[in-house]
């Protein structure tokens, strides 16, 4: 009977502890980084807090306004979004080898802009406080070396560098996760899911690989499924979680013109060079 009472006490304590952790786990919608600014100014010790930032639509987005928004329309027409699919008619017509080559040209030519100009300053403040900040992104970090380091270089141009977060772990392949010959990677502070794994699974694999885990994770992403997967992955690890569904990118101007989108792809196929929407518009007027 005494053993049963002790077991019940342990079970009750476990439920209580997990309830506390779950209570500290939440996801809210925001269009700003005020929570990170508050964290940077906090007097508490946050050295065991890990801040995760998605790359696309959180830190950066396309500099070309013709590449923003209207995703469904861009998928439905002969735009680069549609052309990227290896099963699209245009991709099928030129063959897989040339299709891959042209996509590499496009990826290398892409230019980015910050969504929030204050973000580099906020990140620097967090880093000075000893808070670890890295990117957690959906990206196939492969191809040429230039494509592999494209997002790192893009962030550097904006004054953001995450390579100091885990200096002993600059280039990792998380081979414990494999699918179709692909594995997640961690390079220079950028954790990539290889385009096929959930961000939650990748984050847990990363903790296992470096032999460290935080007591709290703050994650900004523009997709709820990514936030959900990280929240669920952290729950059994007793790691507090604050997720932010970021919508700040929706404030930026976006344009879509079917004729311009199609001309960009035609120009890429014919000349093996990617041109901006602005340039395509000028050439079409001629």
Question: What pTM value is reported for the model?
Answer: 0.84
Q: What's the pLDDT score for residue 76?
A: 76
In Å, how far are 63, 74, 204, 209 from 212, measured between CA atoms?
36, 41, 10, 8
Q: Average pLDDT for residues 131-144, to the nearest whole number?
A: 80
- Residue % of the chain over a pLDDT of 90: 65
Can you tell me the distance from the alpha carbon of 228 to that of 254, in angstroms, rounded to the nearest whole number? 28
Q: Which domains does the chain have, with CATH numbers?
A: 25-63+111-251 (3.40.50.1000)
The tens digit of pLDDT for each residue in 221-279 reads 999 999 999 999 999 999 999 999 999 999 998 888 999 999 999 999 999 999 999 99
Tokens of 143: 């191809």
Q: Average pLDDT for residues 116-145, to the nearest whole number?
A: 87
Q: DSSP readout, 209-227?
A: HHT---SEEEEEES-HHHH
Q: What is the DSSP letter of 249?
A: G
For the cut 90, the answer to whether the pLDDT of residue 212 exceeds it is yes
Can you tell me the distance from the alpha carbon of 79 to that of 274, in angstroms, rounded to the nearest whole number? 12
Diameter of the chain measured on Cα atoms: 90
**SS3 state of residue 34:** helix
* Average pLDDT score, the chain: 87
- pLDDT level of residue 16 (50, 70, 90 thresholds): very low
Phi-psi region of 49 (alpha: psi -120 to 50; beta: other; left: phi over 0): beta
In Å, how far are 49, 104, 145, 165 from 186, measured between CA atoms?
18, 21, 15, 11
Cβ neighbours for 201, distance < 8 A, ≥ 6 positions apart: 177, 229, 233
How many CB atoms are located within 10 Å of the residue 95 CB? 10
> Based on C-alpha coordinates, what's the Rg of the chain?
22
**Picking from 172-186, 191-205, 235-249, which range would have the lowest pLDDT averaged per residue?**
172-186
How many CB atoms are located within 10 Å of the residue 36 CB? 22
- Return the ∠ at Cα 143 (arms to 91 and 182), rounded to 5°: 95
For the cut 70, the answer to whether the pLDDT of residue 219 exceeds it is yes
Q: Which residues pair with 30 in a beta bridge?
A: 246
Tokens of 155: 């962030």
Q: What is the DSSP letter of 179?
A: B
Tokens of 107: 């990826």
In Å, how far are 1, 219, 220 from 27, measured between CA atoms?
43, 9, 10
């Amino acid at each position: 009977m005494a053993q049963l009472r002790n077991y019940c006490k342990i079970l009750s304590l476990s439920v209580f502890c997990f309830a506390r952790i779950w209570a500290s786990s939440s996801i809210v919608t925001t269009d700003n980084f005020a929570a990170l600014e508050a964290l940077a100014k906090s007097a508490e010790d946050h050295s065991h807090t890990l801040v995760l930032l998605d790359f696309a639509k959180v830190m950066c987005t396309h500099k070309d306004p013709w590449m923003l928004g209207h995703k469904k329309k861009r998928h439905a027409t002969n735009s680069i979004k549609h052309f990227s699919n290896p099963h699209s008619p245009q991709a099928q017509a030129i063959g897989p080898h040339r299709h891959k080559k042209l996509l590499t040209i496009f990826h290398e030519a892409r230019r980015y802009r910050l969504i929030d100009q204050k973000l580099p300053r906020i990140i620097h403040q967090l880093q000075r406080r000893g808070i670890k900040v890295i990117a957690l992104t959906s990206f196939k970090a492969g191809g040429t070396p230039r494509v592999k380091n494209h997002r790192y270089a893009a962030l550097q141009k904006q004054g953001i560098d995450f390579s100091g977060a885990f200096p002993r772990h600059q280039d990792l392949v998380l081979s414990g996760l494999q699918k179709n010959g692909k594995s997640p990677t961690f390079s220079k502070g950028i954790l990539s899911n290889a385009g096929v794994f959930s961000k939650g699974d990748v984050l847990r694999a990363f903790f296992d690989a470096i032999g460290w885990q935080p007591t709290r994770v703050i994650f900004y992403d523009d997709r709820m499924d990514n936030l959900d997967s990280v929240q669920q992955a952290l729950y059994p690890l007793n790691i507090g979680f604050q997720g932010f569904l970021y919508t700040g990118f929706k404030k930026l101007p976006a344009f879509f013109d079917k004729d311009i989108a199609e001309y960009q792809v035609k120009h890429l196929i014919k000349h093996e060079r990617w041109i901006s929407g602005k340039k395509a518009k000028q050439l079409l007027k001629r």
